[in-house]
Structure 1
Amino acid sequence: MKILLVRLSSMGDLIHTLPAVEDLSKNRSDIELHWLCETGFSDIARLHPFVKKIHEMGWRKWRKHLGKSETWHEIGRLKTRLDQERFDFVLDSQSLIKSAIFAKMANAPVFGLDRQSAREPLASLCYREKFNVPKGKNAVWRNRELFAQVFGYQMPSEMNFGLNVPNEGYLNGLPAQYFVALHATSRDSKLWPLENWLALLQKLYEDTGNLIYLPWGNDTERQRAEEIAAKFPFAKVCGRMNLLQAAYLLDNACGVVGVDTGLLHLANAFDKPLVGIYTDTDPVKTGVQPSKWAVNLGNIGQIPRVDEVFEQLKKSIAVKNGTV
């Protein structure tokens, strides 16, 4: 049975869908799973080996050029490719009007959330089969429950992301032990003060002697990383990386600390010891999946202290390594 999963964006949304894909791989090995997503996030889908084929779309680019004929030619070519796959059905797990419209392009029955469950209730009008998944639960649980209902199995008691970084994500020259500091995020209100980062990195190096890597995604973030690294020889500014390379960096780190950003959720998906720093968002809604070694600190208007973050990261690493 060939199925198309529609989960277009953002990075966090795709990451939070991966445990459902892992459940599916364990319970329905007969499924050939394809995934339709935004080009910029397709590497997230590539991290799960059960995904047979990825179909990329470029709505973030297309919506800025809807008056150009080439935009509509690209949309038409996507529709043709999807139609040619002859899917048995399409599962729109995003439940937006936008995702429902793209799901209909595959010319196959579309399944999704019912009106009471969908993020945008009108999207449910596009679905042949509709499923009720209670709101008020986190995104990972809701995705897993939706998949379990659609594919006819009971949600497993254990949750795993099931990720594997393909060879093209490999990075050379990394030390055996290092930290990753995710200092950058989508808006300034979610940043942690620069002086806090400087104090934390100093404490981490004095305690462990490990290098600390600083990823970035744009010029502003790179400048911030360079400003931090200029203070310390043990802080290393990463080169430009794609998402697979960032995944490799995170997967091999001994610990990760970061603000509310997609890469923090990716580190969480790799089950790394980590601390999430929240200053302008509620971690109950946007935080990482908590575990014995993955912890969210802070909240809206509640900026975590340096010593609080440092001690929690040390504890998370110790618990993960079984030394406490």
Structure 2
Amino acid sequence: MKVLLVRLSSMGDLIHTLPAVEDLARTCPQVELQWLCEAGFADIARLHPFVRKVHVLRWRQWRKQLTHADTWYALKDLKEVLRRQQFDFVLDSQGLFKSALFARLSGAPVKGLDSASAREAGASWFYQQKFTVQKGLDAVLRNRLLFSQVFDYELPADLRFGVQVPADGVLQDLCSPYYVALHATSRDSKLWRQQNWLGLMQKLHERDGAHIYLPWGNPEELVRAQEMAAELPFAHVCEKLTLSQAAYLLQGAAGIIGVDTGLLHLANALNKPLVGIYTDTDPEKTGVQVSDWASNVGGVGQMPDVEVVYRQLLSNMAAAE
């Protein structure tokens, strides 16, 4: 059986789909799974070895260039590539109009969430078979429940992400041991105060002499990282990282601290000891998968203090040993 999974974006959404892919790999190893996603997140789809092939699109670019002939040629090429695969069916796990429309490009029957379960109810009009998954559950469980219905298997009791960091992500000359501070996020209301970061990094360095790495994704985040590194000689501003390189950096860390951002969920998928810091979103809905070594602190309108985060990280690191 050859199946195309459609989960286009964002980073967190793709990461939250990986446990469902792992369930499928464990219960239905005969399935050949391919994945269609945004080109910028293809490295996330490639983290799971069960994904046989990754197809990419560039909708974020194409939607701004719909009058350009090159855009329509690219769409035509994608349609031809997908149809040559002759999929038995397509699973749209995103439940949006755009994901449903791209799922139809393959020419195969499309399965997805029903109108009461999809993020955009109208997306279900494009599906030949529809499934109910309760809203309000965390994203990982919703994906796992959808897959278990589509492929007709009993949901495994334990949750695994099943990821493997590819060899092309290797970074050289990292100072060990080290922590990673994920200070960057999609909007300012989700940030942790810069002085809090400085205080936490100082406490971690005083504890074991470790270094701290500061990834960034845009010029504003780079400036913030440079400002913090200027005050702490043991803090290092990363070069611009690919997603594979970011995964390698996270995999080697002694511990990770992060605000509500995609890389935090990537660290969670790598089973690293970590603390997620929440200040403007509900960790019950968007937090990391909680375990003995991974936890969330804070919440909407909350600003966890340095000591709370520090103690929680030490506890999680001890549990991971």
**TM-score, length-normalised on structure 1?**
0.98
Gaps of 5+ in 2: none
CA distance in 2, matches of 1:14, 1:158: 19
**TM-aligned CA deviation for residue 174 of structure 1:** 2.0
CA distance in 2, matches of 1:259, 1:29: 36
CA distance in 2, matches of 1:223, 1:88: 49
Paired AA for residue 19 in structure 1: P
Match of 1:293 in 2: 293
CA distance in 1, matches of 2:293, 2:181: 16
Match of 1:270 in 2: 270
Match of 2:253 in 1: 253
Alignment of 1:70-109 (within 5 A): 70-109=70-109
Match of 1:204 in 2: 204
**TM-aligned CA deviation for residue 219 of structure 1:** 1.2
Match of 1:137 in 2: 137
Please say if 1:112 is aligned against 2:112: yes
CA distance in 1, matches of 2:305, 2:166: 37
Paired AA for residue 77 in structure 1: D
**TM-aligned CA deviation for residue 203 of structure 1:** 0.5
**TM-aligned CA deviation for residue 182 of structure 1:** 0.3
Q: How many residues align?
A: 321
CA distance in 1, matches of 2:175, 2:163: 22
- Write out per-residue CA displacement over residues 202-237 of structure 1, whole angstroms, 9 at most, x where no aligned residue: 011001111110001111111111110001111011
Match of 1:223 in 2: 223
Match of 2:308 in 1: 308
**TM-aligned CA deviation for residue 67 of structure 1:** 1.5
178-187 or 114-123, larger mean C-alpha shift: 114-123
SS at match of 1:296: strand
CA distance in 1, matches of 2:281, 2:111: 32
CA distance in 2, matches of 1:33, 1:15: 16
Paired AA for residue 242 in structure 1: T
Please say if 1:154 is aligned against 2:154: yes
Match of 1:46 in 2: 46
Match of 2:20 in 1: 20
SS at match of 2:71: helix
Paired AA for residue 72 in structure 2: W
Paired AA for residue 307 in structure 1: E
Gaps of 5+ in 1: none
RMSD: 0.8
CA distance in 2, matches of 1:177, 1:198: 18
SS at match of 2:231: coil
- Write out per-residue CA displacement over residues 234-268 of structure 1, whole angstroms, 9 at most, x where no aligned residue: 10111111000000101111100011100000001
Paired AA for residue 256 in structure 1: I
Paired AA for residue 46 in structure 2: R
Match of 1:67 in 2: 67
Match of 2:122 in 1: 122
Residues 176 and 211 in structure 2, CA contact (< 8 A), matched pair in contact too: no
**Identical amino acids, percent of aligned pairs:** 61
**TM-score, length-normalised on structure 2?**
0.99
Residues 176 and 210 in structure 2, CA contact (< 8 A), matched pair in contact too: no
Runs of 4 or more consecutive aligned structure 1 residues displaced over 6 Å after TM superposition = none
Match of 2:235 in 1: 235
SS at match of 1:230: helix
